[in-house]
Amino acid sequence: MAARVRRAEDKGPVERLHERIVAGDRGWFFARIADRVAERRNAMGLSQRELAELCGTTQSAIARLERGGRPPRIDTLLRIAEALDCELVVELEPRS
């Protein structure tokens, strides 16, 4: 009897995360952060240039981060989190 393949929308978040890790899709972490930065920046009514000034970086660096162009350094993320009045939470959990 053939195993039924579950569609992505039928899978839970843990199953989807596990698939990403197994597939070697490590960019998802930074894509999620990029989305959160853009959402928070917009919610605060800040332009990319204004956020860049608050963080001591350039508008092009913020644009690159938001479109997932290159993973940002942790110190850059910390400055962005501070400017957006957010906590930066990075977790490390043992594999099961």
Residue range 47-95, pLDDT digits in tens? 999 999 999 999 999 999 998 777 788 899 999 999 999 999 888 888 8
Q: What is the CA radius of gyration of the chain?
A: 17
- CB-based burial label for 87 (10 Å; 0-12, 13-18, 19+): exposed
pTM of the model: 0.68
If one counts every other C-beta atom within 10 angstroms of the C-beta of residue 41, the result is 20
Within-domain flag for 22: no
- Token pair recorded at residue 48: 């990319």
CB 20 within 8 A of CB 13: no
Residue 42 in tokens: 């917009």
Residue 68 lies in a domain: yes
Which residues span the domain enclosing 68?
Answer: 49-89
Whether 57 is in a domain gets the answer yes
Q: Where are the beta strands (DSSP E) in 32-73?
A: none
pLDDT tens-digit series, residues 38-47: 999 999 999 9
Domain count, the chain: 1
